[in-house]
Amino acid sequence: MSGHGPGGGFRATHAVGKAEAAQPTEFAFDAASEAEIEKIIARYPAGKQASAVIPLLYIVQRQMGRVTGSAWVPRVAMDVIAQRLSMPPMRVYEVATFYLMFNTKPIGRYHLQVCGTTPCMLRGSDDVLAACKSAGGLKGYGDTSADGLFTLTEVECLGACVNAPILQVDDDYYEDMDHDSTVRLIEALKRGERPPHGSAIGRQAAAPVGGPMVLTGSED
């Protein structure tokens, strides 16, 4: 089912059965999302708008996080994207369920994503995981804390191996983490604070631990 939302924008409605009780029955892009969508679709030639499916899925997820506190992509929002991009809904479902970064069910207020691939594992990601579980009140990967604040997910390589181990919170990378820095971060999030992302040890970008070793301008 479908209709037109505020301002004439397309709004999809979706029949929800018992097994899909968490799924909303309708979705419409808000003004902030519409402004972003207009810029994105304008980048593609006529007839090639389907190439914008990944950016639009991100827009949905961020709008849901902004509006509801849970950043995820409901099925009905996928239908809205399909209509907007003139593509079969199944094609949108395929993309949304293929990529790990799209959440297809509700998550906690903060999404704790632990990289468990080799560089992060060798640099202590198990300690980061243990801290997430103890400080966040989480049983393991896939769990959401009882207070709804945290969801814990294992992710594949985040592409910042030189600053391993990495803990991604929502869209932000927290780098060079260990058990204690992870606990401090989670406790700050519980207080509603958002510490600056980046290296926990003050590393400059991807420079060696301890600072630049070459081209420093010194004679040593």
Binding-site annotation: residue ranges: 115, 120, 157, 161
Could you tell me which residues come within 8 angstroms of residue 198 by beta carbon, excluding any fewer than 6 positions away? 173, 174, 175
For 162, phi then psi, to 5°, come to: -65, -20
What token pair was written down for 100?
């790990």
Q: Residues marked as binding for [2Fe-2S] cluster?
A: 115, 120, 157, 161
Q: For residue 79, how many C-alpha atoms fall within 13 Å in the half-sphere facing its CB?
A: 18
Cβ(109)–Cβ(150) under 8 Å?
yes
Q: How far is CA 195 from CA 107, 184, 211, in A?
A: 21, 9, 22
Cβ(192)–Cβ(149) under 8 Å?
no
Q: How far is CA 80 from CA 57, 127, 187, in A?
A: 10, 41, 37
With tokens 């090639």, the residue in question is 48
Quick one: three-class SS letters along 176-202? CCCHHHHHHHHHHHHCCCCCCCEECCC
In terms of Cβ atoms closer than 10 Å to its own Cβ (0-12, 13-18, 19+), residue 43 is exposed
